[in-house]
Amino acid sequence: MNHGSTAFLLLVLAVAVLFAAVAALIAFGLARWEGVAIPAALSRSGVAFAAALTLCLAVFTSLGR
């Protein structure tokens, strides 16, 4: 498989975004379970999304070349 192809790179990006979205949903659910208001829970989930996406892309970049 050609790791430089556009389709492969889009697939890797889609996997990273989906993983980050799942992490954000879990963070939102845990915050709401804790009793936090919805705006604060959304803020926590946004931070979790950004952190997970950054971590995924850093790992994929380090494995890339």
Confidence of residue 43 (pLDDT cuts 50, 70, 90): very high
Has residue 65 got a pLDDT over 70? no
- Domain map (residue ranges) of the chain: 6-64
Tell me what the mean pLDDT of segment 45-57 comes to.
95
Confidence of residue 7 (pLDDT cuts 50, 70, 90): confident
How would you write the chain as a 3-class SS string?
Answer: CCCCCHHHHHHHHHHHHHHHHHHHHHHHHHHHHHCCCHHHHHHHHHHHHHHHHHHHHHHHHHHHC
Q: Which of 3-7, 22-26, 32-36, 54-58 has the lowest mean pLDDT?
A: 3-7
